[in-house]
Copies of this chain bind each other. A is one copy, B any other.
Amino acid sequence: MKRATIIFQPSGLRGKISKGKTILEAARELGENIESLCGGKGTCGKCRTLISEGRYAKYGIDSRRKNLSSWQKTEANFIDKKQRTEGFRLACCAAIKGDVLAFVPEESRAAKQVVSKRLHRVSVPYDPIIEKYDLIVEPPTANASRGDLERLLDALGIQHGLKNLACNIESLCPCDINVLRDLPSRLRKQHWHVTVSVWMDREIIRILPGRVLDTFGIAIDIGTTTVVASLVHLNAMQILDTQYIMNPQVKYGEDVISRINYHANNRGGLAQMSADIIEALNSMIEALLCSTWPDNISCLESVEDLNYSSVQQQRAKTEEKCLCLTPEDIEDVTIVGNTIMHHLFLKLDPRHVARAPFPPVVQKSLNIKAGRLGLNICPSAYVHILPNESGFVGADNVAVLTAEAPYRSDQIQLIIDIGTNGELVLGNKERLLSTSCATGPAFEGAEITFGMRAAPGAIERIAIDSETHEVLYKVVGHDAWSNYVKPGELQARGICGSGIMDLLAELYRSGIITKSGSFQQNQMSPRFRINPSTKLREFVIAWADETTIRRDITITQKDIRQIQLAKAAIYAGCKLLMREWGTDRVDVVKIAGGFGIHIDPIKTLIMGMIPDCDPHQIIPIGNAAGVGALVTLLNRKKRSESDWVAQMVEYVDLASLQGFKDEFLEAIYIPHKKDPFPHLEEILPPEILFQN
């Protein structure tokens, strides 16, 4: 009997698992989603699970203790005595020795993220990589029995002036073998009337019978935590639909290092993580294919063909506005992501990126046939993956730069992209410096007691009254603040990144914590207390009766320290980049962040995450990496631009700079201990700002 039965509740998933595996490993095998932010190292405490074996006689289990490996010290960091008695264990610590029934409490479930749709315009000139040509091909004649492809190429030359295609590049084929296989039937289906899709004026990637000019592409942003994919109608230059999902690789570890370790320690781990993200992208593509035509698609830009809108309107009428696209209709894809996401997607060995001096396998942008990667779109279409700047600063940052174009600006811009890591770029058209700071995952909710992702139930905005210390909050999925609804209606269950960003500034501004981040002595706030079981000082954000988890949602002294470390890493990075660049001020600060993080510019200034700056020049730019994926999808010159900028940015290794540690230690204060913050003087009362 080398295998045991494990059943997960409330999902009901069950299966036989080799004894010796942990409950977390079993969950991965069976497809149960248990949170594991640290990747199973026993350091995040997110995978607390209630083990119920022994009570269920019908499973033939008679003693709970026998069926799991013994209690580990690390578990005590996250599970108090009472919970231990109830049967809680960390899923990553408890190994299976016999049949087990495991209840995964709500806060330990890896939640499905909010899916929202939006329709928005990107301002970039229309110059897609794919162009469609409507052709009448000569039928074969006895006098000149040329090949089908040859006559098609003739027609492209004569009717559209597109001569030679790939033929001017020796030995390049003007079309893919898949296209050749479809060619004879597609030519004959509409009596030699076809539409061809040409990539880069060079290669035919698709042939359609008759006249079909609508062209669709997908822009994809693979984040460490979240994956975003937008379906774009290229001719109309409109986003038709956007899908968000959690990166399925999260089950191998929340941060990039956990995933590299998963590859290093598991044979086939890389292939598994690559297959997981490809499968996830395919499910997103499938969902996007079922999108509907938005109401205002008919306002076209840069589309010469007048017939086009009538075709589309007719289609909209008969098919009840469903796009009814096939995978083959997706003819272009752009992909951005940090260097590790880039490597895991392409199944490139990411191990060396994690070891000094951190070289990526490849920096330059790549065009790879969708069929080769297993992406379920037009198989001959190319997938464009943006270039990496370095091992630490990846294609996602290149995408941010391509979208924001600081290299065209006279102003000195500071662009901060807060994801699982913080990426900073500083400069203007003269020179751009980039760096990466190890913020840790605190801003994404990890290592915070009640931290969670921006899923329903997550507190995303927080305001604290300076007098009463009463807390107002907003929850993902609800428009109203907590004072406008009945207690419990918002169904809070944790705090997500943007809520965490608000916290430090609000606690400081309202005088609850000091400049050093400690709770004020003689704290009289009704929400302040010392937790009886952990003995930690904490502040209650939401009372148990307002939550679905039936416990108070609090922020502890330890949590506050984590947030301070994260913001200090960014501040120190900014300071040192400014020193390297040779400036003591920045004109503009742009703050990009993963989806759902609605960053409050002034709060970032109050908490001391960014150097002093005119608050009006602090601009949240949202998911700028995703916008970069969009602009490169819509405009081929932007692709060349991204290749150029990836080469042009100079990477600065912070750890190698003098004074980094000192800057970092000073930056832990709220705000920085020694730096001047003239703009804050108008915002904060002096007793707060100038306290010792």
Contacts and interface: CB of A to CB of B under 8 A. Distances in A.
Interface of A: 140-142, 145-151, 167, 169-174, 177, 180-181, 183-185, 200, 346-349, 351-352, 356-368, 372-373, 388, 390-391, 639-640, 651, 653, 656
A198 B410 CA distance: 44
Given A177-B368, A366-B177, A145 B184 contact: no
Contacts of A361: 147-149, 180, 183-184
A393 to B, nearest CB: 10
B358 A145 contact: yes
Nearest to A653: B142
20 contacts: A140-B352, A142-B356, A145-B357, A145-B653, A147-B359, A147-B363, A148-B352, A148-B360, A150-B362, A151-B359, A169-B169, A170-B640, A172-B367, A173-B364, A173-B367, A177-B346, A177-B368, A177-B373, A181-B349, A183-B362
A348 B147 contact: no
A363 B181 contact: no
Given A177-B346, A361-B180, A200 B170 contact: yes
A431 to B, nearest CB: 17
B181 A200 contact: no
Given A170-B640, A183-B361, 4 more contacts: A147-B364, A149-B361, A180-B348, A181-B347
Contacts of A356: 142
A508 to B, nearest CB: 37
B364 A171 contact: no
Q: How many copies does the complex hold?
A: 2
Given A147-B364, A364-B147, A640-B170, A180 B346 contact: yes
Q: Is chain A's binding surface mostly helix, strand, loop or mixed?
A: loop
Contacts of A639: 171
Contacts of A180: 346, 348, 361-362, 366
Given A177-B346, A185-B349, A372-B177, A359 B169 contact: no
B147 A357 contact: no
Contact of A145 (B151, B174, B346, B359): B359
Contacts of A177: 346, 366, 368, 372-373
Nearest to A168: B169
B200 A357 contact: no
Contacts of A365: 171
B171 A352 contact: no
* Residue with the highest number of chain B CB atoms closer than 10 Å, among A173, A347, A639: A173
A366 B167 CA distance: 11
A184 B349 contact: yes
Nearest to A387: B147
